[in-house]
């Protein structure tokens, strides 16, 4: 089948080039509208599961923004209230404060709402001071 397709494509190569050129010319008027769809969030729909999750995060986490980074912490024996758990979490993210784009970190030991009701895990919210397009490259 591919052999036949290759032979036909070679035999009618100028027709193939003409077809592709005509398709390009037909699509040319739509080209300026394509750039919006190719940007970050250009294909997003409010009905997707990711969009619903983003809305839930914005409702439930007071300082959340699309450029925030949520870091979850859990331990098999320690609980988020334990000093050793807190120390390990702070050590894990200690280098983030040296990055100029990091605006700050909201810690679970300062906000008990960032600890799961059953005490199995906690999260820290890293605020990044960049637009969404640039924060993905950080």
Same domain, 123 and 59: yes
Say what the pLDDT of residue 21 is.
Answer: 96
Same domain, 33 and 53: no
State mean pLDDT over 29-51.
72
Same domain, 56 and 124: yes
State mean pLDDT over 48-72.
83
Domain count, the chain: 2
Domain range for 18 is 2-37
Per-residue pLDDT of 85-96, as tens digits, reads 999 999 999 998
In a domain, residue 61? The reply is yes
Other CB atoms within 10 Å distance of the CB of residue 80: 21
Q: pTM of the full predicted structure?
A: 0.60
On whether the CB atoms of residues 78 and 84 are closer than 8 A, the answer is yes
Whether the pLDDT of residue 42 is over 60: the answer is no
Same domain, 22 and 86: no
Name the nearest CA neighbour of 123 among 97, 85, 96: 85
SS3 129: coil
| Long-range Cβ pairs for the range 89-94 (8 Å, 24+) | 89/122, 89/124, 93/124, 93/126
Per-residue pLDDT of 4-19, as tens digits, reads 999 999 999 999 999 9
């Amino acid at each position: 089948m591919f052999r036949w397709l290759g032979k036909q494509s070679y035999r009618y190569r100028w027709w193939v080039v003409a077809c592709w050129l005509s398709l390009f010319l037909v699509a040319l008027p739509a080209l300026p509208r394509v750039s919006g769809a190719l940007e970050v969030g250009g294909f997003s729909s409010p009905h997707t599961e990711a969009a619903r999750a983003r809305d839930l995060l914005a409702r439930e986490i007071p300082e959340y923004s699309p450029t925030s980074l949520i870091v979850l912490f859990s331990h098999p024996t320690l609980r988020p209230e334990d000093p050793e758990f807190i120390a390990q979490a702070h050590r894990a993210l200690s280098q983030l404060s040296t990055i100029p784009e990091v605006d700050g970190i909201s810690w679970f030991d300062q906000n008990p709402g960032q600890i799961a009701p059953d005490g199995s895990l906690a999260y820290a919210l890293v605020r990044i001071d960049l637009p969404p397009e640039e924060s993905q490259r950080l």
